[in-house]
Amino acid sequence: MASKEKLWSETSMLVGGELIDAADGRTFENVNPATEEVLGVTADAGRGEMAAAIAAARNAFDATEWSTDVKFRVHCLRQLQEGLDRHREELRALTVAEAGVPVSLTKGPHLDAAIALATWVIELTERYEWERDHGVSASGSHRFVRREPVGVVAAITPWNAPMQINLAKVVPALAAGNTVILKPAPDTPWTATAVGRIVAEETDLPAGVFNVVPTSDNAVAQLLAEDPRVDMISFTGSTATGRRLMAAAAGTVKKVFLELGGKSASVIFDDADMARAARAGLGIVWHAGQGCAINTRLVVQRGCYDGVLAALTGALAAIPYGDPTDQKTVMGPLISQTQRGRVLGYIERGVAEGARLVTGGGRPERLPTGWFVEPTVFADVDPGATIAQQEIFGPVLTVIPFGDEDEAVAIANNSIYGLAGEVNSGDADRARRVARRIRAGSVNVNGGQYYGPDMPFGGYKQSGVGREMGVPGFEEYLETKVVAYGP
């Protein structure tokens, strides 16, 4: 692990083109979840700094050519992408240190794929059709459909995949011509403030186009939803917080994008490839289960139930977990002591409600320091049980048996969420049929992988509103205008 001296400890916020501290000198601590050591502090924005950021973003949108000059936007975003690439290894160390992400995962969505996403968005911006000719109507009017930026976008991001989600919001929003205020989670501020410094020192983005405002105060963050100068909220986080933001934004009827919770199901039929099926439950160790799209319910046909369960528990026993700086580590810690307590509480609830604890269930004795929880599997879980219905956001898997196809689909859809899912079956037609019946935004079939910068990501039901990434994700940050010229 990089030493504290070598770690990029970016403590300042970016407001109106200037890197500043909080006016009253307030800070909050940034803590390493694997060691419980304080990495350093971050400027803690108050209402004054947030108001200044909103004013700067509003002025930059209204008074500069940022919203209309596509060529200049591409130039600036390419500078940002190049800056991210130059600082890739520093950002990697930051991500591991403050989020507890195993360094091996930063080779994918947690960093490298996030930078690749920026490249994809830049290329899309260059070829995007900003105005389309719809011809002359019967009345003789010549009509065009234009796509224009929404305005000031507030991007509110979580701690579980900070670099990926920061860039998945900020880059498309800027590319579309919006100005942006990024409010990162207080658990992972430096992955956002570092991007702020790159923008300030290594790009030509005009002052106020991009602002980074870390704060430990939820009331300060809520100003983004309430202020009429903000045109759109783009939020990723819990469903409960999403509901509150949506209600707060209703007062000004601003556009809201929400990517919220999940309780995704992986359906395994007894004719599936058993080796692949057994791996289906291993997603709970990916970043210690701290991912909204992880398949945390394994729905297994009774004919292969015992075999899948045995193979799964055997595979989990071999998973290396612990120090996230070790290249061999697959699972690191939970983000905080609070989150660990929450996850352990769900495990206790599962036992109390009668689920069978197969493996795990507590804190690993060999890791007394750090906020770790053992990979945990519950079998014979009632589909309506608390641990089968609520998002735990930890390394906990519920295994549920089923009989036929209809029952499998009913269990998979028995959730307020609909973010992702998976189907494994030797019958390709059945696998496709079940995938179509599952009410979720993304479904993998027989080893398929949906993730990519060109693929829209989001959910049905209470998993959110709208899509992130891909062309639909880019267009979330655009308005549609019809212009008709008379004969």
Provide, rounded to the nearest whole percent, the portion of the chain with pLDDT above 90: 97
> How many Å from the N-terminal Cα to the C-terminal Cα in the chain?
69
pLDDT for 370: 98
Among 49, 292, 391, 422, the active-site one is 292
- pLDDT category, 160, cuts 50, 70, 90? very high
- From the list 198, 185, 197, 241, the residue with the least C-alpha distance to 30 is 185
Whether 336 and 407 map to the same domain: the answer is yes
Active site residue 129: no
Cβ atoms of residues 274 and 308 within 8 Å: yes
Same structural domain, 236 and 291? no
Do 227 and 293 fall within a single domain? Answer: no
Q: Measured at the alpha carbon of residue 144, what is the angle toward residues 143 and 145, in degrees to the nearest 5? A: 130
CATH number at residue 315: 3.40.309.10
Q: Which of the residue ranges 5-14, 62-71, 168-177 would you say has the lowest mean pLDDT?
A: 5-14
Q: Are 426 and 273 in contact (CB under 8 A)?
A: yes
98 annotated active-site: no
Tell me if 5 is assigned to some domain: no
Band (pLDDT 50/70/90 cuts) for residue 62 is very high
Distance CA 469, CA 452 (A): 8
The model scores a pTM over 0.85: yes
Q: Is residue 113 located within the same domain as residue 249?
A: yes
Residues 76 and 196 in one domain: yes
Structural domain includes residue 8: no
Query: For strand 152-156 and strand 179-183, is the pairing parallel, antiparallel, or unpaired?
Result: parallel
Residue tagged active-site, from 10, 98, 259, 391: 259
The answer on pLDDT for 4 being more than 60 is no
Is there a single domain that holds both residue 350 and residue 472? no
269 and 254 in a single domain? The answer is no
- DSSP letter at 35 equals T
Q: Identify the band that residue 60 occupies on the pLDDT scale cut at 50, 70 and 90.
A: very high
Note whether residue 44 is domain-resident.
Answer: yes
The reply to whether 310 and 268 lie within a common domain is yes
CA distance 133 to 138: 15
- In this structure, the number of other CB atoms found within 10 A of the CB of residue 331 comes to 26
Number of structural domains in the chain: 2
pLDDT for residue 365 is more than 50: yes
Q: Is the pLDDT of residue 168 over 90?
A: yes
Is it the case that residue 2 has pLDDT exceeding 70? no
Give pLDDT, residue 104.
96
Asked if residue 268 and residue 256 are part of one domain, the reply reads: no
CATH number of the domain at 112, please: 3.40.605.10
Pair (119, 79) in one structural domain: yes
One-character DSSP codes across 316-350: HHT--BS-TTSTT--B---S-HHHHHHHHHHHHHH
- Mean pLDDT for the chain? 96
Q: pLDDT tier at 280 (50, 70, 90 boundaries)?
A: confident
Domain-embedded: residue 457:
no
pLDDT digits (tens, 9 = 90+) for 295-333: 999 999 999 999 999 999 999 999 999 999 999 999 999
Q: Which domain holds residue 421?
A: 264-452
In a domain, 277, yes or no: yes
Element (H, E) at 266: strand 264-268
Helix intervals (H) in 87-161: 88-99, 112-127
Q: What per-residue confidence (pLDDT) applies to 277?
A: 84
Tens digits of residue pLDDT in 374-410: 999 999 999 999 999 999 999 999 999 999 999 999 9
**pLDDT at residue 3, rounded to an integer:** 42
